[in-house]
Structure 1
Amino acid sequence: MNNHALNRNLIERVALGDLLRKRSRDSGEQPAIVDFPAGERRATSYNELNKRVNQLAHGLIAKGVKQGDKLALFSTNQRDMLTVYFACYKLGVIAVPINFMQGVDDVRYNLEHSETSAVIYEAMFTELVHASTQGNPHIKLTVQMGNTKGKSDYSLEALLDNQSEQEVNDRIIEDRDTAHMIYTSGTTSRPKAVESSHLALTIAALTGAIELELNRYNRMLLVLPLFHCAALSVLHPVMMRGGCTVLHAAFDPNVIVDSLEQEKIETAVFMPMMWHALLATPNVEQRDFKHFKLGVYSMAAMNSKSLEKVRKTFGCVMHLGSGQTEFAPVACMYRDKTPTEFSEGNYWGEPVCTGEQAIIDKQGNELPNGEAGEIVWRGPQVMSGYYKNEQATAEAGKFGWHHTGDIGLIDNQGQLLFIDRIKDTIKSGGENVSSQKVEQALELLEGIERAAAFGVSHPHWGEAVCACIISATLNESDIPQIEAHCKAQLGQFEVPKAIFICEALPVTGTGKVRKVELREQYRRVFSD
């Protein structure tokens, strides 16, 4: 290798793995993460984490893992998930975090499509890993986290044992090399593999630190799964600031409120359903949340009544972050109490400081404020592309914009209002119905915890609006009341023609409703 080229690369490159080395130098004794193996609190400093990452990196080299290889990761939120991520980042190995909530068939697809050659997994996922890797000729190495190897080739501790704690400085990592590859949620079809570069993720981390106004040594609680880009988009900014991330492997509302109080958390990100669950914990209003300054919600909107209750209970401001995996993922933010043209609606706000957003028509022309069209973005944090899918990559980048597949408008206050996914818009009787609008109307009715609106084939209307709701208190006899509520809130063509009360909704690992399954389940409701 050309030593001059390597030296220049080490000096000037943007490589995400270098972030941990930098924090080890300037914040080495500060806690990087707190996690709770077997319920016991464990704090790990930046120095300790960096040394462990380096040991794993050398252990992987010893087992033949090469730069550019794909390494799949099955893990809940815990220290060694970060150890594996950053070992990959330092080696130029492409991390492939697996959504373990998928079925075996989808996991097998992820592994085969990505051409993964190494797998590291938590012991609880042994059977899933074994079932999804059988017969896969690409996989050369399997490692089980912990001290025992189980059905794998090695235990993680054996791989680290006696390995060097020195940095791996023998390879050139280019700014646009792929750092990790995350499979999209697949709410409508087979998931696509989104390739995100070291530069994109570093810009996203810097952007997050700026937009969330994170102070140095910020303390963040994270329970969103680390196999998803939303969790990484808050982890990396906290690390940029030398802060501490308190990791929880599962969402237990009582445990989480304890942690918010005891760990003196300043910032946390939850999905709306999680915020509602926290508000329902016993005596939550008597807790001491004086350190808590910023709450963030994502994946869905929250109504003004719920937001006010969160502000009052936790004493924080509440921002909404929106985006998608292809944009690493936060592209825009609605800041708490920003003036808007309309009083209600799923507002996504303004673009982040390193991005740009617009509304365009099907010909790529930008539309004026107030006109609905496709939401598009630009920015250096955008994906490099969809792995092995040149057509989808080209379609996503038409007209020099990244296409989101979402419909929205920018109001007269300059705020982006999300209307619906293009594929989720219901075309009923010649009218376009926003499934989001129907869901928001339903969720205003007391007793409805969550709603999902979707269209199914209808002999007269083309598509008919249907809705599934989850409620602990409402039953079939309440459907006329629900219908009356919808008629008071919605236009005649938007009112659901069929409402179903369900125990659960089919969701992805990040809580998005898989409407493709609902459409299939109820496709014959108007033809039988």
Structure 2
Amino acid sequence: MYLTQYLHRALQQHPEKVAVCFGSRQRTFREFADRVARLAGALQRIGMGDGDRVAMLALNSDRYLEYQMAVPWGGGVLNPCNTRWSVPELVYALEDSGTAILLVDDAFIAAAGQLLRDAACLRQVVYCGEGEAPAGMLDYETLVRETAPVDDAARRGEDLLGIFYTGGTTGFPKGVMRSHIGSGIAALSLLSMGLAETGETYLHAAPMFHVADFGAALPHWIVGNTHAIIPGFQPQAVLKAIEAHRVTSTLLVPTMIQMVVDHPAIQDGYDLRSLKTIAYGASPVSESVLERTQKVLPGVGLVQLYGMTEIGPLTVNPPDYRPGMLPLAGKLTAAGRTSNCVELKIVDAHGQEVPRGTVGEIVVRGDTLMQGYWNKPEQTAEAIRNGWYYTGDGGYFDEDGYLFIADRVKDMIVSGGENVYSAEVENAILKHRAVAACAVIAIPHAQWGEAVHAEVVLAPGQTLSAAELIAHCKTLIAGYKCPVSVAFVDDLPISGAGKVLKNRLREPYWKDVKRCIA
């Protein structure tokens, strides 16, 4: 099993079918496959060898889809870059993975210059925007046009497909190694649970660098569906794309769903009758948002996915779910049932399975599991024990086999669909000379689900404002990771073992809030 085999099948079965729509551009599977084979050859020509990492830092586009297929077609390994990261974070991921080739679009030309200066591993930058290639960069369209197509390298099975960087509990991102077969099995699992049917059109509205959109699109590749793409999420752009391309399926994080259904433009008469399914997950979701969505988009199936970069989808709530439907009444905030290709259980602190209804840590195993964290054997060994991946999330099964997420074992904050690890934020805060100690926690946020909050102890004789501290953080980490609020305190609650008691810090913020995690 390998990623590009889906493209081969589509080329065989319906070569003249539209494969991708982006703006005014449409390409058939025949045209798309030809460009993929040419781009693969071009990447080989500029230095991509077997197993070499190739990064892309860009907004959503048809060229992003070509990158996703061309890199493995040419024998390389994907390294999609988070567009919200700061330059130091990007440099770390590029150097950690040893990436030598980077593709950038118009939005990241300035960042590319800094990355070339600071990331010693980078040798080539390819401009994949809409204008003229800046000096010192290779032009994407010229490379595709002037390179002959090459045969598919057909990396497969346990061969590495991509390194997907996620936030690190140690303060540094971790590169999750996903294989071709692991990603393929995850796609088949979603396909078997109703996430794609032949003849659909999938809309890439969530960031294409994110494994959530990548994974949600894979079952549509298997059955040869059309991919519609918008550069980035905007509520009205989603509505326009659904109408223009007769979109049937998309993936949005709950914040995006809320912004779509609450946007005034939804009353403008857009024809949304083609839309059958919205998959969602990646962040906390409220019952009120789901209920409003069903009122505004009656007949649209809401599919809740609970998963993670390390292993793909763990649970799925079925696409025929409607609030109040029996036998699913009361399951609105459930994460769903275990997906078809993994085994999941709830364990106590000693690794022993607990009875249904009892909260414990969620652990999972299966062939979709990552190969490990790139260059981090100790963290890999800590996360994967006896073949089981310890998620760090707490939850319980009800009597019907539905998983409910109770809280997080790890100190991870999910804000607007993006994972934020408290250690990363704390490391940034502690680099300010006025700070003696700090703790970062999640607090409720009406729009983003959770927000980053810092409790800070100042060094003796020092003064500092919240605005100054937040500005300091923004020089070190991505803006979405920075605190949105800061409380200056005299001390932090400490356990007998010397650990900060974050549950005490969270309590006043969450005592009147039901915490739901998707």
Give me the TM-score of the superposition, normalised by structure 1: 0.77
For the Cα contact (< 8 Å) 2:248–2:275, is it kept in 1? Answer: yes
- Which residue matches 1:468? none
1:121-155 Cα deviation digits (max 9, x unpaired): 11331111211231533222221115633143421
Match of 2:339 among 352, 355, 372: 352
For the Cα contact (< 8 Å) 2:37–2:149, is it kept in 1? Answer: yes
- Which residue matches 1:124? 107
Number of aligned residue pairs: 443
- Which residue matches 1:323? 307
CA distance in 2, matches of 1:104, 1:74: 11
- Which residue matches 1:196? 178
For the Cα contact (< 8 Å) 1:341–1:412, is it kept in 2? Answer: no
Match of 2:140 among 156, 171, 176: 156
- Which residue matches 2:451? 452
User: Could you tell me how far 1:24 is from its partner in structure 2?
Assistant: 1.1
CA distance in 2, matches of 1:185, 1:28: 40
CA distance in 2, matches of 1:221, 1:28: 20
CA distance in 2, matches of 1:46, 1:322: 31
1:450-484 Cα deviation digits (max 9, x unpaired): 543768489xxxxxxxxxxxxxxxxxxxxxxxxxx
Q: SS of the counterpart of 1:296?
A: strand
User: Could you tell me how far 1:272 is from its partner in structure 2?
Assistant: 1.3
User: Could you tell me how far 1:421 is from its partner in structure 2?
Assistant: 1.9
- The question of 1:302 aligning with 2:289 is answered no
- The question of 1:259 aligning with 2:241 is answered yes
For the Cα contact (< 8 Å) 1:299–1:512, is it kept in 2? Answer: no
Note the 1:48-447 alignment, pairs <5 A: 48-146=31-129, 148-168=132-152, 171=153, 173-186=155-168, 189-282=171-264, 284-285=266-267, 286-315=269-298, 316-327=300-311, 329-335=312-318, 336=321, 337=323, 343=330, 346-424=333-411, 439=444, 443=446
For the Cα contact (< 8 Å) 1:182–1:194, is it kept in 2? Answer: yes
Gap change, CA 1:172 and 1:21, over 3 Å in 2? closer
- Which residue matches 2:486? 522
CA distance in 1, matches of 2:370, 2:403: 22
For the Cα contact (< 8 Å) 1:126–1:151, is it kept in 2? Answer: no
CA distance in 2, matches of 1:400, 1:166: 38
CA distance in 2, matches of 1:344, 1:215: 25
CA distance in 2, matches of 1:100, 1:213: 27
User: Could you tell me how far 1:360 is from its partner in structure 2?
Assistant: 1.0
Q: SS of the counterpart of 1:413?
A: coil
Gap change, CA 1:61 and 1:372, over 3 Å in 2? same
- Which residue matches 2:507? none
Gap change, CA 1:513 and 1:59, over 3 Å in 2? closer
CA distance in 2, matches of 1:394, 1:88: 29
Q: SS of the counterpart of 1:318?
A: strand
For the Cα contact (< 8 Å) 1:17–1:89, is it kept in 2? Answer: yes
User: Could you tell me how far 1:166 is from its partner in structure 2?
Assistant: 4.7
Q: SS of the counterpart of 1:452?
A: strand
For the Cα contact (< 8 Å) 1:358–1:376, is it kept in 2? Answer: yes
CA distance in 1, matches of 2:448, 2:371: 38
Q: SS of the counterpart of 1:392?
A: helix
Matched AA of 1:97: P
Gap change, CA 1:139 and 1:373, over 3 Å in 2? same
CA distance in 2, matches of 1:352, 1:163: 42
Q: What is the aligned-residue identity percentage? A: 24
CA distance in 1, matches of 2:224, 2:273: 21
Structure 1 segments of 4 or more deviating over 6 A?
A: 338-342
Q: SS of the counterpart of 2:334?
A: strand
Gap change, CA 1:522 and 1:283, over 3 Å in 2? closer
CA distance in 2, matches of 1:145, 1:15: 25
For the Cα contact (< 8 Å) 2:345–2:364, is it kept in 1? Answer: yes
CA distance in 1, matches of 2:360, 2:329: 18
For the Cα contact (< 8 Å) 1:175–1:198, is it kept in 2? Answer: yes
Matched AA of 2:166: T
1:235-287 Cα deviation digits (max 9, x unpaired): 21111111112111122212211222232111121111111111123362544
Q: SS of the counterpart of 1:302?
A: coil
User: Could you tell me how far 1:117 is from its partner in structure 2?
Assistant: 1.4
- Which residue matches 1:26? 13
Q: SS of the counterpart of 1:278?
A: helix
User: Could you tell me how far 1:205 is from its partner in structure 2?
Assistant: 1.7
User: Could you tell me how far 1:174 is from its partner in structure 2?
Assistant: 4.1
For the Cα contact (< 8 Å) 1:66–1:93, is it kept in 2? Answer: yes
User: Could you tell me how far 1:301 is from its partner in structure 2?
Assistant: 3.6
Q: SS of the counterpart of 1:238?
A: helix
Q: SS of the counterpart of 2:391?
A: strand
CA distance in 2, matches of 1:42, 1:391: 46
CA distance in 1, matches of 2:454, 2:347: 25
Gap change, CA 1:152 and 1:364, over 3 Å in 2? farther
Q: Which consecutive unaligned segments of at least 5 residues does structure 2 have?
A: 414-440, 458-466, 493-518
For the Cα contact (< 8 Å) 1:370–1:409, is it kept in 2? Answer: yes
Gap change, CA 1:63 and 1:339, over 3 Å in 2? same
Give me the TM-score of the superposition, normalised by structure 2: 0.78
Note the 1:441-480 alignment, pairs <5 A: 443=446, 450-452=449-451, 456=455
Gap change, CA 1:296 and 1:163, over 3 Å in 2? same
For the Cα contact (< 8 Å) 1:71–1:119, is it kept in 2? Answer: yes
Gap change, CA 1:232 and 1:70, over 3 Å in 2? same
Q: SS of the counterpart of 1:418?
A: strand
Q: Which consecutive unaligned segments of at least 5 residues does structure 1 have?
A: 1-13, 427-434, 459-499
1:286-329 Cα deviation digits (max 9, x unpaired): 443222111222122433332122122222121111111111x2
CA distance in 2, matches of 1:361, 1:457: 32
For the Cα contact (< 8 Å) 1:326–1:382, is it kept in 2? Answer: yes
